[in-house]
Structure 1
Amino acid sequence: MEIIAQIRHEIESQEGRAISFARFMELALYHDSHGYYMSDLPKVGKDGDFFTSATVHAVFGETMADAVSELWRAVGLKQPVLVEIGGGTGSLCKSMLGRIRETEPDVYKRLKVVLIEASPYHRRRQEEVLREHEVAKVWYASLDEAAADGAVEGVVLSNEWLDAFPVHIAERTKTGWKEVAVTYAEGRFREVLREPSAPLLAALAEIESAVPIPSGMRIEVNLGLKQAAEQVGRLLANGFVVTIDYGDREEELYHPSRKKGTLMCYHRHQAHDNPYIHVGEQDMTAHVNFSAWSRYGEKAGLQEVAYMRQDKFLLQCGLLHKAVAHQDTDPFASQAMKRNRAILQLIDPAGLGGRFRVMVQQKGRERHPTALPAFLINKKDARE
């Protein structure tokens, strides 16, 4: 495969003939011509490799639309902006806009939508599915590009964005921290341990100041979180940031029970932990460090106001009220039954509801010191 040849070429051009795992992951996912996310392969849904909450059913987007509308009202915006980062196929944005058009037509007419999407394939898909909506829309290929174009007032939303960042892998050995690097030998990719870079060591020290890491444990470190938080802080002048992803606070994320880390791969709806097969043809993700996301956000002017599991968040946003009564008997033909099954799937504590976390941050609160919406009043950690 061409992507393997490209990665091998970079490996062989480096001193020590190895690259960091983060660079390997970046090339496998984001190489301009052959990266997984940059290709035209279906990725989300039954024809792809994985499902997201947004693709389970439009009721997820309808619920998020109601939540975002409340956040706009809390800030008192006359011309609200919705920013979606990493929206994939556009299914979430489509269902949200449909709900806003139905329930708040006056807001819909004034609304501006900003879509930040690195994948040309997904940008084309978004343009197609959102064509029916006549609201003002603008696309950017990167968060940095969007932030450079001027700050906005509104809500910045992401669903499964941060988990797709390339991550460094570090292993705590008896002699200290080592970084996992990737080389190529005997016809396949192999791992080697080497001394960590200065930025990685600094991040590891920050983690260990909060959580002791035992010898023999591997953890993933997302060095891109800090820059992403800074860019979101620049992009948002006033409003809220809603981040939905699987992850945890540091004390849970780096618990000894996760001795091998959290890196997972998804290929044709099969989950596994080997990133060195199906290269360029599979998704790779790692759990989000929400403690770090909150810390970096604070430095960027984003104040954490809520953090909880997805099931609790959706319930507090009124998801159960969207269930419909019916007398249907055919589970395959009944739209009502499909809707109700999707609601249960979204709040299943053993599935999407329990695995995903929602963090809400606010910027500019001093300008609008009104009460937060009711669904944000509980600030306790998700595990409580």
Structure 2
Amino acid sequence: MTADTAGDAGAAENGFRRWRDAAREALYGPDGFYRRPGAGPAGHFRTSVHASPLYARAVARLLCRVDEALGRPPALDFVDMAAGRGELVTGVLGALPADVAERTRPFAVELAARPEGLDDRIVWRDEPPEGVTGLLFANEWLDNVPLDVAEVDASGTPRYVLVRADGAERLGKPVAGVDAGWLDRWWPLPPEEGLRAEIGLPRDHAWTAAVATLERGAAVAVDYAHGAGARPPFGTLTAFREGRETAPVPDGS
């Protein structure tokens, strides 16, 4: 891969931009993957929510434990981050004991439009409510917060990876500032050409903001992960289409 030594301006003129910007539009733009009507993500891949009703039951049990720890408050909040089509929050409501369900205020946080036929009790929002008392649950949300990708060039310098809507890539400017600091701390790249990392700072910020909405209770993030000492050498960026893993192309499909 060649580096854009003149900077990112010329690349932008040719349709190249950083992965974070490209992914944001492809996933969450007006016609983005997560905002389109229809089956949504479940038409292309399954999470634990889709695989078995046991998952929703386990989350319901966790919510009951939080309820007990809080002294059974008059109103118990359940916030489902990145709610998809409301599958998890619906399953949790159906699995709660009647006395807990009566006090539960369910929130589904999602940028897509509210699906038809959803339980009227569920409040559909594009951001979490403030002052949550209960459980904020983020199931496979953080892995969909857009971020930049870095790749080491021939001189051993990590550079931003630029991408076009058709998936073509090239290297841009060297990673600098807080992004470089994050890489040094959490995903240091040896000076070996072609090694890659994802700069997770936006996900740190997103999780911090979500947790800040919690007044009393618990916040849980469930996602794929790897330790800082065992980072995959070429990153984790991938895509799925109709159940099959495929090359990521930021065109919304």
TM over 0.5: yes
Q: Partner letter of residue 63 of structure 1?
A: A
1:173-210 Cα shifts (integer Å, max 9, x gaps): 343211101247xxx542111222433222212225xx
Asked if the contact 2:19/2:147 (under 8 Å) is kept, the reply is yes
SS at match of 2:39: coil
Q: Distance in 1 between matches of 2:15 and 2:87?
A: 42
2:64 is the alignment partner of 1:85: no
Aligned to 1:218: 196
TM-score scaled by length of structure 1? 0.58
Aligned to 2:6: none
Q: Distance in 2 between matches of 1:107 and 1:268?
A: 38
Structure with max Cα Rg: 1
Q: Distance in 1 between matches of 2:249 and 2:15?
A: 17
2:126 is the alignment partner of 1:130: no
- Could you say if the C-alpha distance between residues 265 and 212 of structure 1 is closer, same or farther in structure 2, counting changes exceeding 3 Å? closer
RMSD: 2.4
Q: Distance in 2 between matches of 1:16 and 1:110?
A: 55
SS at match of 1:266: strand
Residue identity over aligned pairs, in percent, reads 23
Q: Which runs of 4+ in 1 moved over 6 A?
A: none
Specify which structure has the higher proportion of helix: 1
Asked if the contact 1:43/1:50 (under 8 Å) is kept, the reply is no
Q: Distance in 2 between matches of 1:57 and 1:240?
A: 24
Q: How many corresponding residue pairs?
A: 241
2:175 is the alignment partner of 1:196: yes
Q: Distance in 2 between matches of 1:42 and 1:17?
A: 30
1:24 to 13, 22, 25: 22
2:248 to 275, 281, 294: 275
Aligned to 1:206: 185
Q: Partner letter of residue 275 of structure 1?
A: P
Q: Partner letter of residue 132 of structure 2?
A: V
TM-score scaled by length of structure 2? 0.85
2:79 is the alignment partner of 1:96: no
2:219 is the alignment partner of 1:241: yes
2:56 is the alignment partner of 1:61: yes
Asked if the contact 1:64/1:96 (under 8 Å) is kept, the reply is yes
SS at match of 1:51: coil
- Could you say if the C-alpha distance between residues 202 and 16 of structure 1 is closer, same or farther in structure 2, counting changes exceeding 3 Å? farther
2:37 is the alignment partner of 1:36: no
Q: Distance in 1 between matches of 2:243 and 2:15?
A: 33
Aligned to 1:140: 125
Q: Partner letter of residue 267 of structure 1?
A: R
1:99 Cα deviation from its structure 2 partner = 1.1
Q: Distance in 1 between matches of 2:181 and 2:13?
A: 23
- Could you say if the C-alpha distance between residues 212 and 224 of structure 1 is closer, same or farther in structure 2, counting changes exceeding 3 Å? closer
Asked if the contact 1:117/1:140 (under 8 Å) is kept, the reply is yes
1:20 Cα deviation from its structure 2 partner = 0.5
Q: Distance in 2 between matches of 1:240 and 1:44?
A: 27
1:215 Cα deviation from its structure 2 partner = 1.8
Aligned to 1:74: 69
- Could you say if the C-alpha distance between residues 183 and 83 of structure 1 is closer, same or farther in structure 2, counting changes exceeding 3 Å? closer
Asked if the contact 2:167/2:248 (under 8 Å) is kept, the reply is no
> In the TM superposition, what are the counterparts of 1:116-127 in structure 2 within 5 Å?
116-120=109-113, 123-125=114-116
SS at match of 1:26: helix
